[in-house]
Amino acid sequence: MHFSEYMHEWLYGADGYYASYRPIGKKGDFYTAVSTSKFFGGTIAKHIIARIDEGFLRPDSLICEIGAHHGYLLADIIEFIHTLRPQLLQTLRFGIVERFEQLREAQQTYFDESFGNAVRLEHYSDLSELDERCVFFLANEIFDAFGCELVYKGKIGRVENHKVIFDVESTETIALAQKYKQDRGEISVGYESFAEAMAKTSQRFEFMSFDYGELDARSDFSIRVYQNHQVFPLFDEGLNLAEAFGTCDITYDVNFTHVKEAFEAQGIVCIQYATQLVALVEMGILELLAMLKEHASEEIYMQELEKVKILITPSLMGERFKMIRFVKG
C-alpha cells in the first residue's frame, strides 16, 4: 500500500492510535499546548470575544473544535468565556467534530462532569453535517495528522511488511514535490478535500489552527514516531515499525504553504500566519496573566506563569509552533 494509506491505518484504522482515548501530557507519548496550560484555551476565548465585539462573529455563533481528543481545549475556552463574558454562554453554541464514537463518549462524559447541564455539547462525525450561519473553528495539531506520501528522488514510497520501498510512480505527487522544491520528504494528502469540506460548512467562519512546521517544506524527511516522550525518526534503524504501528503517534512537520494554497483555492482567505509566541501575545495571554495576578495568590500565579512560559518561550513551543488563521465571508 502507499505510505499515505499505511499512515491512515496507523492513526485511524479500527485499532489505530486515534481510534481510542490515549492520554496526552506526562502520562502520554507527547505534550501539546493544551496539556501545558489552560491559558492556551483562555487566550483563544479572549480572541473569540474580541471577534464578537468587532462584529465578525455573531453572539449566537457555533464554537467548534475539530479533532478535540478529550475535549480539554474547548472546555478551557468555555471556562474562560464564563470568567470574561459570562452572558455569552447563554447564546453561543459549542460543538466538536469527532469521527470516533468512543472519543465522542469520552468528550461528553468530560463535559457532563465539568459543566453539568450548564453547557450543551453538540457532536458531529463529519464536517458535511454542518450547515451554519457563523462558526469559529479551531484545531490543535491537526494538519500533521493527515496522511502523507513519502517522496525520494522522483519516486513515492509504499509499505510492504512494515518496510518503506521507494519504487512507485505518481505524476500528481511528484508534481507537488517539484512545486515545493522537495527532493525528498512528505507530501500531505487530504488538505484540498478538507478545505473544500470546510468551505461548505457555513456562510461565514473563522478557522484558527496551531501546528509545528514552516511556510517552506523541509529539504529532508521530518516524519517521526513519538513514544513515551521519546522521538524516533521513521528511518531510524532502532525503530521497529511493526511494533510501533498503531501504538505510538506518527507525525511530520507541516508545510503551511500547502495548507494555505489548499484553502485559498476554495476562496477562503488566510489572514494571519505567525509563531505561537506572537499569536498568543497578540491575542492577550499576558493580559490574562495580569488579571490572574490581581485575583490569585502569588503561588498560583507563579505556577501558571511557568506553564505559560513553555507556550511562548522561543526555544520551547513559542517559535516551533505556528498559528494559521483563515476566514470566509
Domains in the chain: boundaries: 1-30+148-188+219-252, 32-144+189-216+253-329
pLDDT digits (tens, 9 = 90+) for 287-301: 999 999 999 999 999
> How many residues are given for the chain?
329
Q: What is the pLDDT of residue 28?
A: 44
pLDDT digits (tens, 9 = 90+) for 179-230: 999 999 999 999 999 999 999 999 999 999 999 999 999 889 999 999 877 8
Band (pLDDT 50/70/90 cuts) for residue 20 is low
The most distant pair of C-alpha atoms in the chain lies apart, rounded to whole Å, by: 62
CA-to-CA distance for 56 and 143, rounded, in angstroms? 25
User: Residue 2 gets which letter from DSSP?
Assistant: B
* CATH architecture for segment(s) 32-144+189-216+253-329: 3-Layer(aba) Sandwich (3.40)
The phi and psi torsions of 322 (rounded to 5 degrees) equal: -125, 155
Q: Is 120 helix (H, G, I), strand (E, B) or coil?
A: coil
Share of the chain above pLDDT 90, in %: 89
Contacts 24+ apart (CB under 8 A), 230-236: 234/164, 235/164
pLDDT at 27 over 50: no
Band (pLDDT 50/70/90 cuts) for residue 29 is very low
pLDDT at 32 over 90: no
Q: What is the pLDDT of residue 326?
A: 98
Contact 191, 143 (CB under 8 A): yes
CA-to-CA distance for 187 and 160, rounded, in angstroms? 20
Instruction: Count the alpha carbons within 13 Å of 31 in the hemisphere toward its beta carbon.
Output: 11
pLDDT at 25 over 50: no
Question: What is the overall mean pLDDT for the chain?
Answer: 94
Q: What is the pLDDT of residue 33?
A: 82
pLDDT at 24 over 80: no
pLDDT at 14 over 90: no
